[in-house]
């Protein structure tokens, strides 16, 4: 008998329970179970312990504090719940139990499963892919808000928009946001808004609620319409912890309606600050350019005064007159002197030589006269060319050349030049020098 006992595998209770636990955890990694809560308790540790039962059986459950913090309802005895967890065995007592990862009210269970299935389907099609998202304009000029006209969400949105950017043109596009037929009306309003081409962006929003309340925004056709829209659509449905298919399909998801309004428009105070800074930079740049232009003008005036063009013109004109007089005198005097010498030579030849030589000498006289005439013409041409060059040089620095281009010189009665309109007195008589002639005028300043 003792030998038979030695041949058998004998386990201790702890070993048996450990094997059973490994078997359970390996076979039931994640399970969904629906039932009624009973024997609910919440000790000081914050963990939740209860029994989940139906008409024929029950199973012990534990939801530890780290997971219990995310519950969206208050568990109580008699509540129908849907839980997800792993099946394990508590070795100390040999009891098996569910260690829960998630728990929700049973009424949302079917909706939650439908939501997860539809979300996975649309994600697999690439409907939520980031590369499909359209950027929201930096400055939205006209915004369409698709929401209930009587909900808290629309009041929050309008309040934030009015505070941050009152220049925005906002249009409320009223729709029911929950209940039978709400999804159909939301799709119809979105279609009209897209076809109207009136808006730079659209905001789809409503306040928080249960999964059933938000179900209109989990409509598959609505999600596809949002993804295929040709203008940016922002979704702000529910609170920060709420997610709908509309949020995933939209180009931008905001955690709350107020946050959506802040994302859509810039802050008025920041814009005013940027405009003030830009104005200061513009004024500084303009003042710097005006100062540089005034300095260049002063330098040009000083160079002009140093050149004294009026005096140079007068000296040039005087020199030109002297050159002309000297040319005339030299030409006339030289010509007369050479003619006199030729006549004297002809008279001497006439008395000293016979008649035959006289004809020869007259021929020579005619030849010399022709040469003299040619040399005088060439000299006059050279002097004329030189004088024309001097005249052009003088004209280039003459203020009258500037006047010929349409400018004028304004002088007071005492002859001083009036350089600035600020220096002129209203009603003061002045004389305006033009390219041809002088005009007498009276100063009349424009009204400020």
From first to last of its 448 residues, the chain has per-residue pLDDT tens of 445 455 667 777 777 767 777 777 667 778 889 899 999 999 999 999 999 998 889 999 999 999 998 887 888 888 888 899 888 887 777 788 898 998 887 766 667 778 888 899 999 999 999 999 999 888 899 999 999 998 888 999 999 998 888 888 999 999 999 888 899 999 999 999 999 999 999 999 998 887 778 889 999 999 999 999 999 999 999 887 778 999 999 999 998 999 999 899 888 778 888 888 889 899 889 889 988 888 888 888 877 777 666 666 677 777 877 877 777 666 666 666 766 676 676 666 555 555 556 666 667 777 777 777 777 778 778 877 877 777 776 666 666 666 666 678 888 888 788 777 777 888 888 888 887 788 888 888 777 5
Provide the pLDDT for residue 144: 94
- What b-and-e string marks burial along 85-100, b requiring 16 or more CB atoms within 10 Å of the CB? bebbbeeeeeebbbeb
* HSE-CB for 126 with a 13 A CA cutoff: 3
Instruction: Name residues whose C-beta falls within 8 Å of residue 180's C-beta, 6 or more positions apart in sequence.
Output: none
Please report the DSSP string for 107-159 in residue order.
GGHHHHHHHHHHHHHHHHTTTT-GGGPPPPPSS-SEEEEEE-TTSHHHHHHHH
CA 326 – CA 320 distance, rounded (Å): 10
Q: How many CB atoms lie within 10 A of CB 165?
A: 20
To 5 degrees, how large is the angle CA 88–CA 91–CA 94?
90
Residue 173's H or E segment, with its range, is strand 169-174
| From the candidate CATH numbers 3.40.50.300, 3.40.50.960, 3.30.420.10, 3.30.70.270, the one assigned to the domain spanning 125-266 | 3.40.50.960
Nearest Cα to 393, choosing from 328, 303, 324, 320?
320
**Residue 15 has what DSSP assignment?**
H
Query: At 387, is the secondary structure helix, strand, or coil?
Result: helix
Residue whose entry in the numeric block shows the structure tokens 């040039």: 316
Nearest Cα to 226, choosing from 264, 189, 174?
189
Radius of gyration for the alpha carbons in the chain, expressed in angstroms and rounded: 54
**CA 243 from chain center: how many Å?**
33
* HSE-CB for 117 with a 13 A CA cutoff: 6
Provide the pLDDT for residue 40: 94
CA 374 – CA 378 distance, rounded (Å): 6
Provide the pLDDT for residue 339: 65
- What b-and-e string marks burial along 109-125, b requiring 16 or more CB atoms within 10 Å of the CB? bebbeebeeebeebeee
Please report the DSSP string for 258-304 in residue order.
HHHHHHHS--HHHHHHHHHHHHHHHHHHHHHHHHHHHHHHHHHHHHH
Give domain 2-110's CATH superfamily.
Nucleic acid-binding proteins (2.40.50.140)
Instruction: Name residues whose C-beta falls within 8 Å of residue 127's C-beta, 6 or more positions apart in sequence.
Output: 223, 224, 227, 248, 249
């Amino acid at each position: 008998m003792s030998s038979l006992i030695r041949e058998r595998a004998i386990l201790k209770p702890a070993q048996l329970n450990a094997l059973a636990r490994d078997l359970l955890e390996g076979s039931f990694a994640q399970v969904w179970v629906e039932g009624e809560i009973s024997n609910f308790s919440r000790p000081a540790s914050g963990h939740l312990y209860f029994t989940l039962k139906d008409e024929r059986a029950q199973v012990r459950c534990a939801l530890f504090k780290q997971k219990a913090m995310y519950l969206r309802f208050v568990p109580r005895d008699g509540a129908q719940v849907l839980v997800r967890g792993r099946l394990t065995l508590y070795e100390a007592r040999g009891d098996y139990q569910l260690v829960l990862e998630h728990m929700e009210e049973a009424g949302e269970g079917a909706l939650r499963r439908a939501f997860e299935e539809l979300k996975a389907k649309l994600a697999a099609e690439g409907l939520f892919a980031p590369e499909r998202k359209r950027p929201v304009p930096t400055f939205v000029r006209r915004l369409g808000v698709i929401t209930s006209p009587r909900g808290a969400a629309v009041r929050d949105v309008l309040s934030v928009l009015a505070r941050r950017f009152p220049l925005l043109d906002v249009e409320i596009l009223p729709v029911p946001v929950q209940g039978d037929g709400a999804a159909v009306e939301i799709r119809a309003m979105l279609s009209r808004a897209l076809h109207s081409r009136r808006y730079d962006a659209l905001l789809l929003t409503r306040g928080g609620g249960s999964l059933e309340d938000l179900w209109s925004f989990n409509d598959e056709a609505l999600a596809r319409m949002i993804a295929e829209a040709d203008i940016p659509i922002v979704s702000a449905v529910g609170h920060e912890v709420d997610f709908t298919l509309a949020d995933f399909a939209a180009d931008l998801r905001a955690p709350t309606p107020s946050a959506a309004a802040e994302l859509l428009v810039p802050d008025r105070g920041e814009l005013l600050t940027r405009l003030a800074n830009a104005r200061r930079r513009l004024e500084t740049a303009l003042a710097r350019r005006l100062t540089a232009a005034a300095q260049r003008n002063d330098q040009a005036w000083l160079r002009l005064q140093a050149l004294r063009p009026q005096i140079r013109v007068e000296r040039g004109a005087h020199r030109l007159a002297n050159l002309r007089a000297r040319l005339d005198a030299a030409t006339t005097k030289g010509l007369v002197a050479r003619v006199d010498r030729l006549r004297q030579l002809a008279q001497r030849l006439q008395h000293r030589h016979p008649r035959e030589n006289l004809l020869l000498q007259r021929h020579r006289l005619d030849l010399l006269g022709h040469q003299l005439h040619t040399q005088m013409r060439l000299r006059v041409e050279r002097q004329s060319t030189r004088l024309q060059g001097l005249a052009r040089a003088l004209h280039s620095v003459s203020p009258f050349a500037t006047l010929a281009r349409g400018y004028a010189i304004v002088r007071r009665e005492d002859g001083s030049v009036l350089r600035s309109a600020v220096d002129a007195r209203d009603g003061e008589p002045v004389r305006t020098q033009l390219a041809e002639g002088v005009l007498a005028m009276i100063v009349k300043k424009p009204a400020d």
